[in-house]
Amino acid sequence: MDLITRFKTKLGQGMPPVIVDGADAPVNANHRFGDDVDVTIFPAARHWAGDGGRYIGTGDAILTRDPDGGWLNVGCYRQMVQGKNQVGLYLSPGKDARLHIERYWSRNEPCEVVAVWGVDPAMFVAASLGFGKTLSELEFIGGITGRPMELCKGQAGSVPYPAHAEIVAEGVIRPDAMKLEGPFGEFTGYYGRPEDMAFLMEVKALHFRDKPILTHALMADYPANETSLLYSIARAAKIWNDLDKLGVPGIRGVYCHPAAAGGWGLTIVSLEQRYAGHAPQVLALASQVPGGAYYAKWIIAVDEDVDPSNMNQVLWAMATRCNPAEDIDLLRQTWSTWLDPTQNPPEERPYGSKALINACMEHRYIKQFSKRTKVRRSVYESVARRWSQLGFPGAPPRLWALEDGERQEPPAG
């Protein structure tokens, strides 16, 4: 929760990127243009035995320009090697780069693309988060690192690329350029959708450092997938930041457990219920804000005395404060992906559904709700003070629910 709170603060601090002189940029140490382009010089990996090919972009960042607004989007999307100067780009429905490409194509125009295959972690995190569809993630990268992101002017196109990247490809997706791609072992722990058509990027130029690092993100069940932990912390902070921006009061914390399909499948919000309808409002918004809308299937609200990152506490709240017949709502036909294994046959994808679970004390009777058993604060503090003296290892656990006030003596007799 500390990490989530700190990252949320950073998401509130934007800083626009700057264009620098490309001559000094580390990424410009080596170049390949035109016929010399060969993406197979990099050790793209086959992640899973059943993958349809070698993947060069998984922990990456892809830049495209909005054809109307002109702003630059940054997204993290998988890329499969299709040839010396060709890579497939898989984009789920509603992803910003997909919306850009579709609008260029509707005008019979190509879409310029910059692919960053060796990427700064801050850029990777920003690329994988859902921001509003009219915002550029580049500002948020500056906010996360505390310095403006440095970009070089494009050499084979008009989209700039990061000066401190390890490996960058400039290219173009021409109208109707598509090729069979996948399957790929995905964040769900399944091979996503069967092999199907995906956008085909023609690589026009490569720029890379000496001894460049190619960044990969293995998609797998948690905890084998460490990217999930990074992503779920960032996703929770983004949803909390979105709720703050909407002016929703009383949010005590947000958590996305990495075991729930890399953090995408579950959102838990802890709140102090301040008015009738507050918890249902938080559930509806958390399920649909830019940072939380895609894929999420389970959205759970808990009271402020429940740490959303403590699954013991969350399960306790679900088992004692949620009355399923009254407290679960469903949203249907929601934003999802071709990668969701529960939607069958695969041709019928990509619609999803969401369960909104209110595991807060019933607001109507909150004053009469049974009193919870809690450790007294004075007892907790005295034990915590003597923690190592008493022979306990590490730091004392932090408890979200403590009883204030002195011990109530039972009435005499």
Ligand X SMILES: Cc1cc2nc3c(=O)[nH]c(=O)nc-3n(C[C@H](O)[C@H](O)[C@H](O)COP(=O)(O)O)c2cc1C
φ, ψ (nearest 5 deg) of residue 334: -95, 175
Residues 147-176 close enough to bind ligand X by CB under 6 A = none
Residue 215 in contact with ligand X, rule: CB under 6 A: no
Nearer to ligand X among residue 323 and residue 342 (C-beta): 342
Would you count residue 225 as binding ligand X (CB under 6 A)? no
The one among 28, 227, 336, 358 contacting ligand X by CB under 6 A: 227
Among 32, 65, 78, 207, the residue binding ligand X under the rule CB under 6 A is 78
Least Å distance between CB 73 and ligand X? Answer: 5
Shortest CB 122 distance to ligand X, Å: 14
Judged by CB under 6 A, the residue of 39, 76, 111, 243 near ligand X is 76
CA pair distance 359, 379, nearest whole angstrom = 28
For ligand X, the closer CB: 90 or 104: 90
Cα–Cα distance, 212 to 207 (Å, whole number)? 10
Among 52, 59, 157, 185, binds ligand X (CB under 6 A): 59
Q: Does 75 bind ligand X (CB under 6 A)?
A: yes
Minimum CB–partner distance for residue 228 and ligand X (Å)? 8
**222 touches ligand X (CB under 6 A):** no
- Of 199, 222, 294, 335, the one binding ligand X (CB under 6 A) is 294
- What residues numbered 87-116 form the site for ligand X, per CB under 6 A? 90-92, 95-97
Number of residues lying near ligand X (CB under 6 A): 21
Cα 65–Cα 70–Cα 76 angle in degrees, nearest 5 = 30
Instruction: Say how far apart CA 338 and CA 27 lie, in whole Å.
Output: 35
Q: Which of 63, 62, 65 is nearest to 104 (CA)?
A: 65
Q: Identify the residue among 128, 267, 270, 336 touching ligand X (CB under 6 A).
A: 128
Instruction: Out of 1, 4, 39, 217, name the contact with ligand X by CB under 6 A.
Output: 217
Tokens 């740490």 found at: 307
Tell the smallest beta-carbon distance from residue 78 to ligand X (Å): 3
User: 10 Å Cβ neighbour count for 125?
Assistant: 26
**Which CB sits closer to ligand X, 32 or 216?**
216
Under the criterion CB under 6 A, does residue 73 sit at the interface with ligand X?
Answer: yes
Which listed residue (39, 129, 243, 268) binds ligand X by CB under 6 A? 129
Identity of the residue, 281 or 334, whose beta carbon is nearer to ligand X in the bound complex: 334
Which residue among 231, 240, 335, 338 contacts ligand X (CB under 6 A)? Answer: 231
Q: Which one, 60 or 170, has the nearer CB to ligand X? A: 60
Nearer to ligand X, 125 or 302 (CB): 125
Segment near ligand X (CB under 6 A); pick from 12-20, 30-38, 70-78, 342-350: 70-78
How far apart CA 22 and CA 164 sit, in angstroms, is 10
CB of 33 to ligand X, least distance (A): 27
Q: For binding to ligand X (CB under 6 A), which residues are involved?
A: 58-59, 73, 75-78, 90-92, 95-97, 127-130, 217, 227, 231, 294
